[in-house]
Every structure is written in structure tokens, then in C-alpha cells.
Amino acid sequence: MANTISINQFAQTPVRGQVESEQNVLTLTMQVSANQATALKAGDLVTLDTAVTKGPGQPLQIIAQGTAVGIGVIVHSAKKDSFSAGDMVEVLVWGVIWLLNTAVAIAPMAAVEDNGSGLVQAYASASQKKIGIAVDYVPASTLGRYFIFGPVTSAV
């Protein structure tokens, strides 16, 4: 597991949005869209802003996922905790990341979705879009590891 630098701690613990391993992951640098009204945080699920009309070669513009097909999850940064319009962020598109779940436990291999408020919950048909699967058993209201498959999974 990647280390999180935290001064005056003897036992390092994972944080929301922390990538499990720096190997075999796909992260892309994207920009928070001017259309994103509230600040985004590490662990928030995001989607491409389809209202943006910038041409090819410009940074990908992202907004909070909501019920749209997700592109990935904002990765934790030791440099900054909150990301506003215009900020550049790293987005995990493929790999294992630590996210916070809702008040319900999630079983290993359970398909998961964003609950629309930045938390993960077990996938419920006709609700939000799938984002991946739980890697471990995750007790209620705790951080757990989730394997994110990117936009291909969330489209189905």
C-alpha cells in the first residue's frame, strides 16, 4: 500500500482517495470544469463535462459524477485537499483505490456504485452507475478498497 505522509503519526493509515499501489494503475490529469459549482475532494467520483466545447488537445474537463457515466475517481494528494473550477487533478481510471462506503457493509466482489453524495454503496439496479467491485469485506461507514474499472463498467 502506498504511504500517506502524516506528521507525528506512528501508524500510517489509508485515506479516502488513496491509490492502493502505484503500479498497474491508469491515472489521467484532468481539469475541474468551470461548470462545477462546488469543490471536489479526493475520493469523489467524476464524469466528463459534456457541456464543454473546448477542442481536442485541451485538458479533459470534469464534474461530479451524479447519475452520469463515471470516468474515474479523484486521487488523494498531499499537496491539496479541495479542488475548485480550473484546478488540475489526477483521476484514477483503472486500479484499486480507498473509498468511504455508506452505513451498510459491502461484501467482497460486490458490484458498487456512487450513491450520488460521494460515498460507495452496493449496486442497486436502476439507481446510479456501476463503478467497480469491492476488493475486501468493508464494514459500514468505513474506508475500503475498491477496484475501479473506469467508464466501460459504468456504462452497463
The 10s digit of each residue's pLDDT in 9-30 is: 566 688 899 998 777 789 999 9
83: phi then psi, degrees, rounded to nearest 5: -125, 120
* Domain spans in the chain, listed from the N-terminal domain onward: 26-154
Task: Provide the whole-model pTM.
Answer: 0.86
Domain 26-154 class, CATH top level? mainly beta
For 85-131, the pLDDT digits (tens) are: 999 999 999 999 999 999 999 999 999 988 878 889 999 876 678 88
